[in-house]
Amino acid sequence: MAQRRKYQTIEHDWPRFFREYPEVYDRFSGHSETTAAIISDMFGLDDKVVLEVGSGTGIATLELAKRARLVIAVEPEETMMRVATKKARENGITNIAFVHGDGTRLPLAGNSVDCTVTVYAGPLSHEEASRVVKKGGFIIRAGNHYRWYGGELAPIIPERNRAIGHGYELDRYLRNECSYSYKDLWVTHTYPTLEEAIETYGFIFGSEAIDYLVANDKKSIRHKLRIFYREI
């Protein structure tokens, strides 16, 4: 049986996580592929020009590229982008353009893409997204339901209440002030081994999560997904 004393954790230090641990992020974000496939089906992204904001290590990016004509992948962290670029090159994928930037000031001309997509990513300005999406296109934002920070283990995660407060404010803003619709779905992320679950999920969410994973021999985490969308 695994012992918690063997394992390190960054205890919710997301900025450090994004900067320093792209390989762990890549393992943690495996369910982004499923989420991107759901988005492609829901919004018919075949032959579209898709802007993905906060593309990370490219898990959702590569899935979106299976159907889109072009994916413009915008990411602020160079460490993340290097991993994503390597994946695209190794898989012979040529319809992805990687661009350094973030969602507060998008490095694109107005009316230049068919939709913007974020998948468990950082901030995206509604005004900026509205500026770059063509009329009839969509702004699409996918992430955990605000009450499900960290997925089904949310009740044991100390940061949960603060995350819920921030998530509720964003949820209310998108629904009430920006007139987004939404759809709730369930996705499950299964790690190959308990060790990997601890060294990935536990590494991020802390000692309480590690204790729970070990005590319950838990390798699968269920997430409640909320997809916000608005047509331009």
Tens of pLDDT along 139-182?
999 999 999 999 999 999 987 777 888 899 999 999 999 999 99
- 106 vs 48: CA distance, rounded Å: 18
The pairing of strands 70-75 and 49-53 is parallel
What is residue 66's three-state secondary structure?
coil
- Kindly state the average pLDDT of the residues 113-119: 98
Beta bridge partners of 213: none
The confidence score (pLDDT) of residue 90 equals 97
**Nearest CA-CA partner of 157 in 211, 199, 193:** 211
What's the mean pLDDT when you consider all of the chain?
94
pLDDT reading at 77 higher than 80: yes
Query: Which residue segments constitute the domains of the chain, with CATH numbers given?
Result: 28-190+224-231 (3.40.50.150)
- Kindly state the average pLDDT of the residues 206-215: 94
pLDDT reading at 2 higher than 80: no
- 162 vs 143: CA distance, rounded Å: 16
Other Cβ atoms within 10 Å of 185 Cβ, number: 15
Give residues with Cβ within 8 angstroms of 165, minimum separation 6: none
- 24 vs 194: CA distance, rounded Å: 15
Give CA separation, 6 vs 120, 158, 211, in Å: 29, 21, 12
